[in-house]
Amino acid sequence: MAQVATREELSGAKKAAVVLLTLGKEAAAKIIKNLKESDIEKIAMEMANLGPVSKELQEQILAEFTGAMASGARVAGGGEEKVAEILEAALGKAKASEIVGRIKRQKTTGAISKLEEMSPPTVAEFLKNEHPQTIALIVAQFEPDFAARVLAALPEGLKGEVALRIATMDAISPDATHEINRILASQLEGVGGGQKTVAGGVKTLADILNQGERTLEDEILSAIEEKDGEVAGQVRKLMFVFDDILLLDDRSMQRVLREVDSKNLAVALKGADEKIKEKIFKNISERAAAMIQEEIDYMGPKRVSEVEAAQQAIIEVIRNLEDSGEIVIAGRGGASDDLIV
């Protein structure tokens, strides 16, 4: 059962939600018609989540808007059904359905969003006593860079187990998502349920490891290889590290370099293998190559983290271009599968 809202909880969009629910469907619909869609969605979300509001608190909120109490009605609370009725009266069935759908999706991902507001070590500590399959289900829903840091912070011995389960996971069913939210709801205040389907599998794990440090990649893949060499091989095939630039054909390399800032490229090449420099310099003008080399020579020492960040930015460009079909990386499923560089 929803808790009674307090004055501290009601501010901004929540107060607007109380006013609209007090006014009733017809009057609320007239007001909503004059609001921006972004504001409608915020207020509708608050209406759907609003718990019971006392008459006294209602009076205080209405006084802020009107200066006087217009009705003694008590707001019993919101809910998706009531919100849908108001939005349909204001915007029509199709638009109302679209907004309510977005509200449901936002409520579904609330638990994951709460975790992503924490530091990765805190999340790892929070999850470490759960079953490895449960941890895998949760980590697979994070953004890849955040997931990589959580995976790195898990205890030794658990990382590989969780990574293997992510790699061998099919799409997450609605029932599994409900279970995730049930577990999180028991430990995080205010977590809601819902339905969401998120793909697991070797690509999800590869995306996560691509965002992590090289040491994490080596540790995870070694742990997986001990249990399932075939899965480890599949993950490696889908991964791309900076040294894999050598796998790009010249046309693809030129396409990538059009998207890369020259200063960032100079940092990325600091201390890089000569073969990589040759590959890149071969695909730009002599003048551009000389300028980048001069930048490298005069930039001074760089932290490893700065170099890795610059390399990661270039890797992201490569991955995006591959995803869009603009380039093909040899050995990763294109027509150049048999190419040896």
Q: For residue range 66-88, list pLDDT tens digits in order.
A: 543 343 444 444 455 666 667 77
The domain 242-323 is placed in CATH, from the list 1.10.10.10, 1.10.290.10, 3.40.50.11270, 1.10.220.30, at 1.10.220.30
Among 61-65, 122-126, 260-264, 321-325, the minimum mean pLDDT is found in 61-65
User: pLDDT category, 292, cuts 50, 70, 90?
Assistant: very high
Same fold for the pair 111-238 and 242-323: yes
Tokens of 178: 């409900």
Asked whether the predicted pLDDT for residue 29 surpasses 60, the reply is yes
8 Å CB contact between 46 and 9: no
Measured CA to CA, the distance from residue 46 to residue 268 in angstroms comes to: 46
Q: For residue range 166-199, list pLDDT tens digits in order.
A: 888 876 665 566 556 655 655 554 333 333 344 5
Residues sharing a CB contact under 8 Å with residue 48, sequence separation 6 or more, in sequence order: 78, 79, 80, 83, 100, 103, 107
Instruction: Please give the pLDDT value at position 186.
Output: 54
The whole-model pTM stands at 0.44
Measured CA to CA, the distance from residue 165 to residue 132 in angstroms comes to: 8
Mean pLDDT of all residues belonging to the chain? 74
Please report, for the chain, the start and end positions of each structural domain, with discontinuous segments joined by +.
13-108, 111-238, 242-323
168, amino acid identity? T
111-238 fold: Annexin V; domain 1 (1.10.220)
Instruction: Please give the pLDDT value at position 129.
Output: 85
Among 116-120, 152-156, 285-289, 333-337, the minimum mean pLDDT is found in 333-337
Work out the percent of the chain whose per-residue pLDDT is above 90. 14
Measured CA to CA, the distance from residue 118 to residue 37 in angstroms comes to: 30
Q: For residue range 83-101, list pLDDT tens digits in order.
A: 666 777 766 777 667 676 6
8 Å CB contact between 216 and 148: yes
- Backbone phi, then psi, for 248, in 5-degree steps? -80, 140
Q: For residue range 120-142, list pLDDT tens digits in order.
A: 888 898 888 888 888 888 888 78
Give the distance from CA 41 to its chain's centroid.
21
- Closest by Cα among 313, 263, 252, 314 to 288: 263
Measured CA to CA, the distance from residue 244 to residue 329 in angstroms comes to: 9
Q: What is the maximal distance between C-alpha atoms in the chain?
A: 80
